[in-house]
Amino acid sequence: MAQTAPDYVFETVGDLLESLGGIPPGRVHLVPHPGTATVEDVIRIHDRENRLCELVDGTLVEKTAGARESFLALELAFHVQSFNAQSGNRGMLLGADGAFRLMRGLVRIPDCSFTRWDRLPGGKVPAEPIPDLIPDLAIEVLSSENGTREMERKLKEYILCGVRLVWYADPATRTVRVFSGSTDATELTEVDVLDGADVLPGFRLPVRQLFAKL
């Protein structure tokens, strides 16, 4: 079940941007009024305008996009899904529009995610477009618009809500930061191998291979 969160009130635009992690103002939607947006608004703007927005502090925040980010997200999804299929289909893989309602007023959309079937109702893909669900693995591919504070906040939310494994892939530095149940990072470079820990036991991907086409 999704956790609860307090109502949000912002006296200035600066207060709002600070709360969101110092993101660029152009990514913040003012309709609905910040602090009042809902899960239904996330669905509406996607269906009507084909825009992918997260819901943070009751505010619609547009996701960043780019060729490198999309390529890396698909590359990671391909390797995770290939491993999943070869190891007995252990869970559900969602792509860059697979949203989760982590708590009231908070919807996050990892660039890729994995959730074990035994944690899904009936072992099936949820029917609702944004389920109340915590993935086992959340993957984020960083872009130039993702500031440090924004990603620190997102990481803390993932860990607080119970995401067991988080990968932050950074095309600029050609590294992958791995978080296993805490905000302490293990940074992998191109000489290292990314593994699935206890979420995807047996999964291994050379970091150099991930970034080879960049």
Give the pLDDT of residue 29. Answer: 95
User: Tokens in use for 16?
Assistant: 């709002």
Domain boundary assignment for the chain: 13-62, 67-210
Question: Do the beta carbons of residue 132 and residue 2 sit within 8 Å?
Answer: yes
Is 0.85 topped by the overall pTM? yes
Mean pLDDT of the chain: 94
Greater pLDDT, 193 or 145: 193
29: burial class by Cβ within 10 Å (0-12, 13-18, 19+)? middle
165: DSSP letter: E
Strand partners, 141: 169
93 vs 100: CA distance, rounded Å: 13
2 vs 132: CA distance, rounded Å: 6
- Give the residue from 102, 111, 28, 119 showing the smallest Cα distance to 74: 111
Q: How confident is the model at residue 56 (pLDDT cuts 50, 70, 90)?
A: very high
Architecture of domain 67-210: Alpha-Beta Complex (3.90)
Give the pLDDT of residue 10. Answer: 78
Give the pLDDT of residue 188. Answer: 98
123 vs 103: CA distance, rounded Å: 22
> Is pLDDT above 90 for 135?
yes
